[in-house]
Amino acid sequence: MLKALYRWIILLLAMSVLIAPVQADNSVEQGNSADKEEQPLWEVRLAAFGRYGSSYPASEESQFNFIPLPFPIYRGRFLRLGDDTEKPIQGRVFRTDRFQLNIDFDLNFGSDSDDIDARTDMPDLDFLVEAGPELIMPFLDSDMTRGHMELALQLRGAFSFDGLDPSWRGVVFNPELRWIRPLKQKNQEFKIRLTPAFASNDYMDYYYGVAPQFATASRPAFDVSGGYLGTELSISLRQPLTRKLEIWSGVRFGYYGGAKNEDSPLFTQETTTSVYAAFMYKFWESKNGAAAD
């Protein structure tokens, strides 16, 4: 079933790339003008989010996560909530034609260590929240590619949560390259992201450190170092199905060869693949519109 889901997402993304280039110029213009229509300030959607992929960066073990929940969307002048499944929370500080400064957030699922052979009898990996500034610099907006490219410099501090108790987990820096292409339908979007990551000692220790009390014959103690963590390539598609229902799907490839802590016994695989899909059904929206972009 999971292999079938993976093939379906790859086929869906490939079709969007093949179909979109043959659209007439007026279709693209219509799509762009539709994107400029006023959107509601608030929406409330019923969402179902599913992910199958590696338990943590450079792990050979995989896990399935599924979350059904109400999903609020807010399109404020300074705060954006839920407008992008890959970046569900964003805060805007200011924006010009040349760059944009945001407060960026990222979320990572936790893992039960007893379900991961390399981490048996070690502490669980808790839900991880990252937050910090993001500087976005657009540098290519071409009619030839019918999309735009931008560089985003992200610096985030990380906290893990065991219940409501947060613990500091260090800092991660991502210079992210994005290519975003609006497609024919309103809100239909194809996106590619290339994201190398560099992390501090504390962040690396959360995933790859082995304290002496958790060392075994097959898992020796390991002291981590800060530095290069790995690189991820993400491909995603936002596809409206009806006026109220849409699906967001994607695939993420990770390559961790040459990482600073690849000698850790918890570093068990150089390449990883994750797939995800989110279904969103809008059942309420506000009458007042969002601020102009």
Note the pLDDT tens digit of each residue in 87-144.
656 666 677 778 888 888 888 889 999 999 999 999 999 999 999 999 999 887 656 5
Strands 147-162 and 127-142, by their bridges, are: antiparallel
User: SS3 letters for 30-48?
Assistant: HHHHHHCCCCECEEEEEEE
Return the pLDDT at 24: 33
Q: What is the pLDDT along the chain (293 residues), one digit of tens a residue?
A: 444 444 444 444 444 444 333 333 333 334 444 444 567 888 888 888 899 999 999 999 999 999 887 877 777 776 666 666 556 566 666 777 788 888 888 888 899 999 999 999 999 999 999 999 999 998 876 565 577 899 999 999 999 998 888 999 999 999 999 999 888 777 788 999 999 999 999 999 999 999 999 999 999 999 999 999 999 999 999 898 888 898 989 999 999 999 999 999 999 999 999 999 988 898 888 877 766 55
Measured from the Cβ of residue 64, the count of other Cβ atoms closer than 10 Å reads 9
Return the pLDDT at 9: 43
| DSSP secondary structure letters along 99-125 | -EEEEEEEEE--B-GGGSGGGTTSPPB
Q: What's this model's pTM, rounded to 2 decimal places?
A: 0.77
Among residues 52, 88, 51, 50, the alpha carbon closest in space to that of 68 is found at: 50
Domains of the chain and CATH, by start: 2-285 (2.40.230)
Return the pLDDT at 99: 85
Q: Which two tokens stand for residue 209?
A: 């450190």
